[in-house]
Amino acid sequence: MDTFHKAPRLFLALFVAELGWLLNFIGVAIAQSDIAYDKFNPFGLQWYFLFVYLAFIILVNVTVYTDSMKTYKHLLMNLNTLTLAFIPFDLNNAVSLANSVTTSNITGGSNTRIAGLLLIATMFGSEEDSWVNQFDLGFISPMLNDRTRAPRAESLERDAVVVAIERPEGEAPRVPPSEAIVLPSLIVRNSMIKHESLITKFKAKALYSYTASVSDPNEISFKAGEILEVIDSEGKWWQVVKTEADGSFTTGIAPSNYLERI
């Protein structure tokens, strides 16, 4: 269910495809009621196509509700291509049998369904870091204003992260007092910190690339597909640890709707 919130374009694609199927169904039903036949149903092919379209749309909905879209991404893309290939035959047969009124209903429903299927095709046929999938970020990016930053800052001070620092001389590590305030985007080297002392809860994969705001030094930047370690997963902004290319560790906050737990 949360997938619709993260990707409004997915909700739009399914809504358009389902609306097109419904209009197409109504058009075929009306057209068949106007034609008398004995044994052979002239609209049998249309009903078969409608069944295939409905089965595909239901399958997509199931993968969305079970959060298994990535697992069946290639299967859904192939099935979507097959349903698109059916449409010319579907339209040609329907137009040749129906009258002018029902033809407009059938073609209107088919065109609407085509739009939905094409949206689904761009969604499953594009990589996560492509500009097509980045389009969704305009809907889910957190509003970077004072109203959203105020409670976030209070949360950071309340859930301050305490790390154990080891001196280069080999002395025993000292733990800062419990009332310590989180430093903005703390960056430390391997020689200065024990990674285990960060006590991360789990790892998360970045679904999209994110560039930290220059107005908030607590945020960190990351790329799509990058693995981050989560320290605190409370609220909409998670406290995470990022391993840099040189082996150093960066701690900061990242929007939770850009991350997926692994």
Checking if the pLDDT of 248 tops 60, the result is: yes
Contact indicator for 223, 128 with CB cutoff of 8 Å: no
Distance separating alpha carbons of residues 245 and 26, to the nearest angstrom: 58
| Extended beta strands in the chain, E state | 187-188, 202-206, 227-232, 237-243, 249-255, 259-261
Pick the closest to residue 202 from 245, 158, 241 (CA basis). 241
CA-CA distance, 133 to 125, in Å (whole number)? 10
* Whether residue 79 has pLDDT greater than 80: yes
Q: Please, what is the average pLDDT of the chain?
A: 71
- Give whole-number Cα distances, 42 to 78, 97, 193, 197, in Å: 29, 8, 76, 72
215: phi then psi, degrees, rounded to nearest 5: -85, -5
DSSP 8-state class, residue 185? T
Distance, C-alpha 53 to centroid of its chain:
23
The arithmetic mean of pLDDT across residues 9-29, rounded, is: 82
In the block, residue with structure tokens 């993968």 = 63
Q: Which position has the higher pLDDT, 183 or 60?
A: 60
- Could you give all domains of the chain from N- to C-terminal order, each with its CATH number? 2-134 (1.20.120), 144-261 (2.30.30.40)
Which segment of 25-29, 91-95, 120-124, 237-241 scores lowest on mean pLDDT? 91-95
Residue pair 251/239 in contact by the 8 Å Cβ criterion:
yes
Say if CB 135 and CB 208 are below 8 A apart.
no
Mean pLDDT within 67-86: 83
- Residue range 241-254: mean pLDDT, rounded: 86
